Amino acid sequence: MALEAPAQQPDAGQAGVTSVIDGRGSIATRPKTTRVVSSETRVLARLREIVRSQELLIYLIRTEIKVKYKNSFLGLLWSMISPAMTLAVYTVVFGYFLHNGMPNFVIYLFAGILLWNFFSTGILTATGVIVNNSGLVKKVSFPREILALAAVGSAGVFFFFQACVMVLLMAVLHWAPAWSLLYLVLVAMVPTLVLACALGILLASVNVYMRDTQHLVTVLVGAAWFWACPIVYSFQTTVAIHLKVHHVTWLYFMNPMTILVMTFQRVLYARLTVISKNAPHPILHVLPHWSTITYVWGDGVVLAFALILFYVAMVVFGRLAGNFAEEL
């Protein structure tokens, strides 16, 4: 007759082993069993916990920046030099070799790149943040979502320095923005921030289980998604003409970043129609003649979508977070 010896109940999410003493006094073990754990904490409760941990969030943002430029002589200046070099390359290629004819094309280009860099840097950094901080995740108890939010927050710091470069560039070129529409910058920034946080949280959790996610996101965000936005080309002169013929212009706006980038360009470039440098085409239509309400409405739709995605991301993160320690 076999007797079971008392054994400790294994912790949730960990493998447990039950010892059994048979009639001959030998000890046998049953196969290990793994319990899958999913967080039952509600989204609103977790959001309140994140708000209470705002000091930790600020600390992680500072740490993220320090680690990125550790032992670097120029430090934060690289956050300005890197986009400046990219800007110079695109300006030379599209402004001089391909002759797009747009005056002060560098302003139009920088207006799009400024917002795109904030969005893409936040997502790319957040995707691998859980895996990169595995030691912290396994040893310290805190809202794990803060790691992804800190990655987006550090991208916001870089955005600030790049915006300073933008202001300086506009001053040097004597190019004034649409002063009466400056509030649209904030209108576009809010949905961009929420969308970056939503995708960052979602992709960070998925990347723990499927490590190829980080590489896939790098390709999609750094290449395909960038070119799907009207940054290095004009929507009005390139996209609208071709898509309007087939009545599928709406398909282009399925990309949520399209209207956000165009809002930035409307404020900072501020010209809808310009005199082209190309003689055959003296009049160049850069941006559509939309009313301010159209931009606000479009950004509002993106914000609504971003909020829904943020909720979904929090739910998915909560479901997957229970087994982070085992997967890492």
- What would the mean pLDDT of 91-97 be, rounded to a whole number? 74
- What would the mean pLDDT of 215-238 be, rounded to a whole number? 88
Categorize the per-residue pLDDT at 13 as very low, low, confident or very high, splitting at 50, 70 and 90: very low
Contact predicate 130/204, CB 8 Å: yes
Separation CA 286–CA 72 (nearest Å)? 40
Residue whose structure tokens are 């190829």: 212
First to last CA, the chain: 42
- What would the mean pLDDT of 128-156 be, rounded to a whole number? 89
> Residue 281 above 60 pLDDT?
yes
Contacts of 172 (CB under 8 A, 6+ apart): none
- What would the mean pLDDT of 135-146 be, rounded to a whole number? 85
Q: What is the pTM of this model?
A: 0.81
> Residue 297 above 90 pLDDT?
yes
Side chain identity at 72, as an amino acid letter? S
pLDDT the model gives residue 245:
60
pLDDT the model gives residue 249:
78
Contacts of 31 (CB under 8 A, 6+ apart): none
The separation between CA 34 and the C-alpha centre of its own chain, rounded to angstroms, equals 34
Residue whose structure tokens are 């915006």: 163
Residue 276 backbone zone (phi > 0: left; psi -120 to 50: alpha; other: beta): beta
- What would the mean pLDDT of 102-115 be, rounded to a whole number? 90
pLDDT in tens, 38-63: 444 588 888 899 989 889 999 999 88
Mean pLDDT across the chain, nearest whole number?
82
Separation CA 137–CA 142 (nearest Å)? 8
The residues that bridge with 275 in the sheet, in sequence order, are: 283
